[in-house]
Amino acid sequence: MIGFGAATAIEPAGEGRYETVLDAGYGMAEALNGGYLMAVLGRAAVAASPHAHPVSTAVTFHRVARPGPAEVIVEPRKEGRTAAASRVTLIQDARPAADALITTATLDAAAEPGWTGAEPPGLPRLEECTEFQPPTGDRGFADRVDMRFDRSTMGWLDGRPSGRPEVRAWFRLRDGYQPDAYALALAVDALPPVALNLGAQGWAPTVELTWHMRAVPAQGWLAVHGNGRVLADGWFDEETEVWDSAGRLVAQSRQLARVPRPRR
């Protein structure tokens, strides 16, 4: 089992191309996790940029990506003093699996927020939270990522969805990899779909996900708060906020996904 750093590593192959080997450990069933893919895309964007952090990442997922070799293509589109923008594509089997727009900039790790909105209701303490053991025996992701869930948001597991599209969890990587931009990319797409708490069942494919890195995260556990606003016409939205151990809002995301299909 290789660590998160190695699993998201990229190798320059010239002219904005980067080679990578996607790791089966970050999958659930056949599909690799979208946050894992965003971490790989983010590394390529930063490698091709003069800046240190992917402050804005918008991704459209076209196809399920599978473990094994893949390529990332970075096309620089604008380079400014403060930020640089690029189009970034994940290619597998000679087809685009995901397209992204990534803006890089360099955040100051010592910057204090000028203003922050209210912290969300606190998560229960770690020891009061529950580990979710995937029922299928499909342990890949759970072997890499240590998540401790607020039980009050996990009623769907026992057939008692809460009726509120909320899921909350503590998050860390099991290999000791500390929070950074790429761990945040993983964290914003690591929760089970909030729509499960509205009675939806099964796999909820993400169509689009945009996330913003708002601060350089401190070491330690991350708190991930997932919410949604509307489920309608086969679509639902899911927002996450990620707070670090120093109590700062370090990442925000919203995704648009398809309502999970009824189980057969």
Which residues, numbered 10-39, are part of the site for a second copy (CB under 8 A)? none
Is residue 249 at the binding interface for a second copy, with CB under 8 A as the rule? yes
- Cβ neighbours of 212 (radius 10 Å): 17
Are 175 and 144 in contact, with CB atoms under 8 Å apart? yes
Out of 1, 13, 116, 133, the only residue in the binding site for a second copy (CB under 8 A) is: 116
Closest separation between CB of residue 208 and a second copy, Å? 4
| Distance (Å, whole) CA 41 – CA 74 | 9
Closest separation between CB of residue 122 and a second copy, Å? 17
Out of 233, 262, 263, 264, the only residue in the binding site for a second copy (CB under 8 A) is: 233
Phi-psi region of 8 (alpha: psi -120 to 50; beta: other; left: phi over 0): alpha
Is residue 55 at the binding interface for a second copy, with CB under 8 A as the rule? yes
Number of residues that bind a second copy (CB under 8 A): 53
Nearer to a second copy, 12 or 235 (CB): 235
Nearer to a second copy, 7 or 44 (CB): 44
Q: Which one-letter amino acid corresponds to residue 180?
A: D
123: Cα separation from own chain's centroid? 19
Is residue 254 at the binding interface for a second copy, with CB under 8 A as the rule? yes
| Distance (Å, whole) CA 199 – CA 29 | 21
Is residue 201 at the binding interface for a second copy, with CB under 8 A as the rule? no
Long-range contacts of 191-194, Cβ-Cβ distance < 8 Å, separation of 24 or more? 191/147, 191/167, 191/224, 191/226, 191/238, 191/240, 192/132, 192/156, 192/167, 193/236, 193/238, 193/257, 193/260, 194/165, 194/166, 194/167, 194/226, 194/227, 194/228, 194/236, 194/238
Closest separation between CB of residue 257 and a second copy, Å? 10
Closest separation between CB of residue 96 and a second copy, Å? 6
- Which window, 29-37, 146-154, 175-183, 226-234, contacts a second copy (CB under 8 A)? 226-234
Q: Which residues bind a second copy (CB under 8 A)?
A: 55-56, 58-60, 62-63, 77-78, 82-83, 85, 87, 96, 99-101, 103, 105, 107-108, 111-117, 165, 198, 207-208, 210, 212, 214-215, 227-235, 237, 241, 249, 252, 254, 256, 258-259
